[in-house]
Structure 1
Amino acid sequence: MSALGTPPRVLTVAGSDSGGGAGIQADLKTMLALGVHGMSVITAVTAQNSQGVQGAWELPVEAVRAQYRSVVDDIGVQAVKTGMLASAELVETVAELLTGTGAPVVVDPVGVSKHGDPLLAASALDSVRTKLLPVATVATPNLDEVAQLSGVRVESEEQLRDAAAAVLAYGPRWALIKGGHLPGAAVDLLTDGREEHWLRAPRHDNRHTHGTGCTLASAIAAQLAKGSSVPEAVAAAKRYVTGAIAAGFALGAGIGPVDHGWDLARGTTGA
């Protein structure tokens, strides 16, 4: 934070979750909890609750471009996080905008919702591979997204290296392969192809995990904006999201969200 009190600025480019657990809403809550100023470019509006996605409406490319330029040209950013981009046209537009921004980029290649609802058109996959991932500082796919993008299917911890190699081949500087769908402890692999960082956390017996991926990617972006290295940012984000999962709460009749404000009372989330 500067002498004038302006916090680091982080921009999320993603879809809106009307239920408040994921998407833009989760991103902004995470950024607030971690002490950065969150800003948004909304790419799509969803009708969404604890039971799934009932509808999704993509915004025009012109609206996405205008939001991005409005924020970046006036306010500036220290990091950008991308989430739901829906179509090839949106993916390519956002990739083009990111290329000239000069800030770290965290790409969460959102393919499906927590409930299995598709959030990325099949026709957009090649644009994610060839346009978006090459501009990423960190890409954060889960195992389903790795399979969707590369065809590599992971069934054991050892295979996380194969997944990382497949994702890095598309051009991001770092790949964070999230192994949360594997049995046992929650293990993720962060690598740039040369060094490896294995991140482990206990698995909490809590089904209310809506928004986990959005929250983790936003937490990484927040830490990068504050000047952390990629390994430092990912480790801090992993600690934050582990606490948020443990504190996840029931909401509606289905899967509730993680608790983005779980540590605010203790005042330690900004660390």
Structure 2
Amino acid sequence: MAHIALTIAGSDSGGGAGIQADLKAFSALGTFGTSVITAITAQNTEAVTAVHPVPLDVVRAQIDAVLSDIGADAIKIGMLATPEIIHEVADALAGFKGPIVLDTVMIAKSGDALLADAAVATLREVLLPRATVITPNLPEAARLLETEFAKDEAEVIAQGRALCNLGAQAVLMKGGHAAGDICHDYLITAEGVALELTAPRRATKNTHGTGCTLSSSVAAGLAKGMTLPEAVREAHAYLQGAIAAADDLNIGKGHGPLHHFHRVWPA
């Protein structure tokens, strides 16, 4: 029987992030993907030019349709756009007992906002305590904690533990926004660092969808029954391959997407 992963997120018309990236990653990692669209974005590699939140009753109907029939072994939550959608998703998932990966999506690679300011506190208070793991980059972690951007390893780890103290079971602090030739990602629990992963920083502009892809890849691993550290290791290795092959795709004039199927077909 297939392993099933559900993504609850926004749609990226450019195909590099959001629902589209999640479904590609699910498939590449051997899971059957289902989806709930929370917002429709007009988006390409250069900008987000329009955002249309999906009506609450339609968001709820999508969740109910998937879980009542197909079910889910793990859920990834991405762009939620508004406080009202956050509450609707939380209510709809009240009875779900499986792992939840919460990607705290706030800003697109182009710099455009994807989460209303009023929704940040709601995300922190309503969904963060439901998460098996949250996957913030350093600016998102700082915004959730209402503090300054972490400047060194000690501050990154401290902020990860602070987010755990707000209710998340674990936090995957992503180091892509830090300085240096090596990127450090830390899987942190209330007890401290459970896993550290490193990768060389690649000189490429084609990194659109990295956050979505990493979080959905972790969800795919959890859907397959992996432990959280196992799922994070698999997701990290897959993401690095997708970034390494991104320039071969060369999509669009701005920040192009990753090559999600780099293991299947060459660009």
Question: What is the TM-score when the length of structure 2 is the normalising length?
Answer: 0.95
Q: CA deviation at 1:151?
A: 2.2
Q: Contact conserved, 1:187 with 1:200, CA < 8 A, in 2?
A: yes
Q: CA deviation at 1:119?
A: 0.5
Q: Does 1:198 align with 2:196?
A: yes
Instruction: Write the distance in 1 (CA, Å) between the matches of 2:113 and 2:68.
Output: 33
**Paired letter, 2:263:** D
Map of 1:171 onto structure 2: 167
Q: Contact conserved, 1:157 with 1:182, CA < 8 A, in 2?
A: no
**Higher mean displacement: 193-202 or 124-133:** 193-202
SS at match of 2:37: strand
Map of 2:144 onto structure 1: 149
Q: Which of 48, 54, 68 is 1:53 aligned to?
A: 48
**Higher mean displacement: 122-131 or 20-29:** 122-131
Q: CA deviation at 1:175?
A: 0.5
Question: What is the TM-score when the length of structure 1 is the normalising length?
Answer: 0.94
Instruction: Write the distance in 1 (CA, Å) between the matches of 2:117 and 2:166.
Output: 17
Map of 1:269 onto structure 2: none
**Paired letter, 2:62:** Q
SS at match of 1:116: coil
Instruction: Write the distance in 1 (CA, Å) between the matches of 2:102 and 2:48.
Output: 22
Q: CA deviation at 1:79?
A: 0.3
CA deviation string 1:98-154 (max 9, x = no partner) = 231111000001011011101111111111111100000010000111111112321
**Higher mean displacement: 129-138 or 178-187:** 178-187
Q: Contact conserved, 2:73 with 2:223, CA < 8 A, in 1?
A: yes
Superposed CA RMSD in Å reads 1.2
- Percent identity over paired residues: 47
Map 1:35-184 → 2, pairs under 5 A: 35-152=30-147, 153-184=149-180
Map of 1:186 onto structure 2: 183
Q: Unaligned 5+ residue runs, structure 2?
A: none
SS at match of 2:168: coil
Q: Unaligned 5+ residue runs, structure 1?
A: 1-5, 267-271
SS at match of 2:33: strand
Instruction: Write the distance in 2 (CA, Å) between the matches of 1:126 and 1:204.
Output: 34
Instruction: Write the distance in 2 (CA, Å) between the matches of 1:247 and 1:12.
Output: 24
Instruction: Write the distance in 2 (CA, Å) between the matches of 1:99 and 1:158.
Output: 35
Q: Does 1:27 align with 2:25?
A: no
Instruction: Write the distance in 1 (CA, Å) between the matches of 2:229 and 2:91.
Output: 26
Q: CA deviation at 1:166?
A: 2.1
Q: Contact conserved, 2:161 with 2:192, CA < 8 A, in 1?
A: no
**Higher mean displacement: 165-174 or 50-59:** 165-174
Q: Contact conserved, 1:78 with 1:104, CA < 8 A, in 2?
A: yes
